[in-house]
Structure 1
Amino acid sequence: MAAELTLAHQHLPGVTVISVTGELDITNHAKVADYLCRSRQRPADQVVLDLAGLAFMDSSGLRALLSCHQDCLGQGGELRLAALQAVPARLMEITGVHAHLSVHHTVDQALSAALTKISG
């Protein structure tokens, strides 16, 4: 049985941190894409996705992340992924997507990079 997808966010100055837990797949990718767009406090916010609790992601989930990435760039922000687990990390590696997104080992590293971008 698939793990239920849960989403939560918090706002920091210029940064929206979104935690994604469970499984991201064809059954819920539209919910995630909508949530990622709606949860930013300002359109130009930096977005950090905390994926430490994301156990599984398929290609439709990856498409939702790429859509958010494009939306962020178009609004003057940037998407950063943090704490990827083995299965989602493998999907990004075999598709080559990791080379086009900002991927960080920890949420703290992603936050630091986002705050540097804001102040810099």
Structure 2
Amino acid sequence: MHEVALAEEVLRIVGHEAERHGLSLVTEIGLSIGAWSCVVPEALAFALEAVLAGSVASGARLDLETVPGRLRCGECGNEYAPEDRYEPCPACGRFGPQVIAGNDMIVRRVAGA
């Protein structure tokens, strides 16, 4: 379960942001999770609850947003949002597009007091 390692990295980022902004308590953490990132949101939430315990972010509300996958065709430049990242371009039929969204997990918000 790589979500524990991801949760530890989120804690590192949240701690850095809390220090940078002078927060003594983090009350909310917003994460964007790409549909193709191989992160299981429920497993990540469980891991975060354990990892954040006893930290400046203990008990923080988690706002997990799923970002749908988007592709750009290298041949015709068409952008599309298929169910599967391996689908060909619907405009020209070419395979092997570039992933432009949905592959990442990003800490997008750290709020507190």
Q: TM-score, normalised by structure 2?
A: 0.35
Bigger radius of gyration: 2
Greater helix content: 1
Higher RCO (CA 8 Å, separation ≥ 6 residues) = 2
